[in-house]
Amino acid sequence: MPEGHTVHRLARTFAELFAGQVLAVSSPQGRFTAGAALLDGSRLVASRAWGKQLFLGFADASARPEPGGAPSVPPDDDLRWLRVHLGLYGAWTFAGDGSSAVVHAIGAPRKRIGERDSIPAGPLEPLAPQGEEAWTPPAPRGAVRVRLVGAHAVADLTGPTACEVVSADEVRAVEARLGPDPIRDDPAPAGGPDRFVAAVRRSRTSVGQLLMNQDVIAGVGNIYRAEVLFRAGLDPLTAGRDVPAETLRGVWDDLVVLMRDGAATGAIVTTRPQDRLPDDGAHPGAPVRTGTVRQNTDGSAGSVPADQAFYVYHRDGLPCRVCGTPVLMKELAARKLYWCPTCQR
């Protein structure tokens, strides 16, 4: 399942490609025909993420852009909202007319692109002869739930867990149920880090499980959960109420830095430079890994290779990068949990 930084990248991508444009909205698959009809011919004026939830705000086409091209944004209550939760298998794929680089896919299933949250942008051949304003989007591929077509790009949604048109009140109700989001400048309406600390401290549930609870903190997934607990030296099986408030505030502050970096770069990197060593058998007695977790930035100049990016995630059986103890893995609430039994006591 894509983590929160991926959904924030999606929100930014929609703003860059479609903000202020009147969009043609359809449901090639046919399962969202009624919802698509409510949005077809509307102008996209808002795009935002909260944790793993994406909200696209549509106004009447008469909401004209202001001088200078900036879209006029009516109040939230005057908009129709498309709410999307990608879940385990959802993905947005994009194509453009060649006028600008377009990210090919964000949130694609792991069976296609591993743990990468996207297929990176690249040069595209124009889909219409240069010099002509009109262009023909490529035909939908797969079971496309929603298709958005703008002046220069198209976005197709496949396999989401949730896809619905909602009111502003319904958007607010969803956001109110979610915990604070470390990537947002306004992390929660009810206290941000204070709300996170209080929610963990009043629970007997393990801190490792609480970090995956979107009502406690929004956007954290399996990778960030494992890595931030390692960086804090915190045993993931510790009951939330037994974790000092100061430690939890440190976890929050660390997530703010790590997740915002992930939203900016498209890759999760949690290791400090001095702790990076490839998982290639260079560790004394280490098993050789034939496959690694892939990153969106693999192959990019200056990027951290995926096999050096994590402390414990998907490194079970390999020596801890800090102490050399084999990394452990167990099932916790139907998800795999990774930790070092020595560094995280």
For the chain, the structural domain boundaries read 4-173, 180-295+304-339
CA separation, residue 87 to residues 92, 161, 167, 183 (Å): 12, 5, 21, 19
How confident is residue 64, by pLDDT bands cut at 50, 70 and 90? low
Closest CA to 140 of 101, 102, 107, 91: 91
Query: Which pLDDT does position 150 carry in this prediction?
Result: 96
Residue 151, pLDDT score: 93
pLDDT tens digits for range 191-204: 789 999 999 999 99
Assess whether pLDDT exceeds 70 at residue 114. Answer: no
Predicted confidence (pLDDT) at residue 109 exceeds the cutoff of 60: no
In this prediction, residue 71 has a pLDDT band, given cuts at 50, 70 and 90, of low
Confidence label for 206 from pLDDT (cuts 50, 70 and 90)? very high
Which of these is catalytic: 9, 48, 52, 231?
52
| Two domains, one topology: 4-173 and 180-295+304-339 | no
Active-site residue 3, yes or no?
yes
Is 335 tagged catalytic? Answer: yes
Provide mean pLDDT across the span 205-223: 97
Q: What is the mean pLDDT of residues 220-247?
A: 98
CATH 1.10.8.50 for domain 180-295+304-339 = yes
What would the mean pLDDT of 309-332 be, rounded to a whole number? 96
- The active-site residue out of 2, 71, 187, 236 is 2
In this structure, whether the domain defined by 4-173 belongs to CATH 3.40.50.300 is answered with no
What is the pLDDT, as a whole number, of residue 130?
44
Residue predicted with more confidence, 298 or 219:
219
331 is catalytic: no
Of the pLDDT bands very low, low, confident and very high (cuts 50, 70, 90), residue 190 is low
Higher model confidence: residue 52 or residue 135?
52
**At residue 67, does pLDDT exceed 90?**
no
Check pLDDT > 80 for residue 300.
no
CB 72, CB 58: distance < 8 Å: no
Residue 120 has pLDDT above 70, yes or no: no
Let me know if 2 is a catalytic residue: yes
Q: What is the pLDDT of residue 7?
A: 96
* Phi and psi, residue 137, nearest 5°: -60, 150
Tens of pLDDT, residues 121-170: 433 334 444 444 578 899 999 999 999 999 999 999 999 999 999 999 99
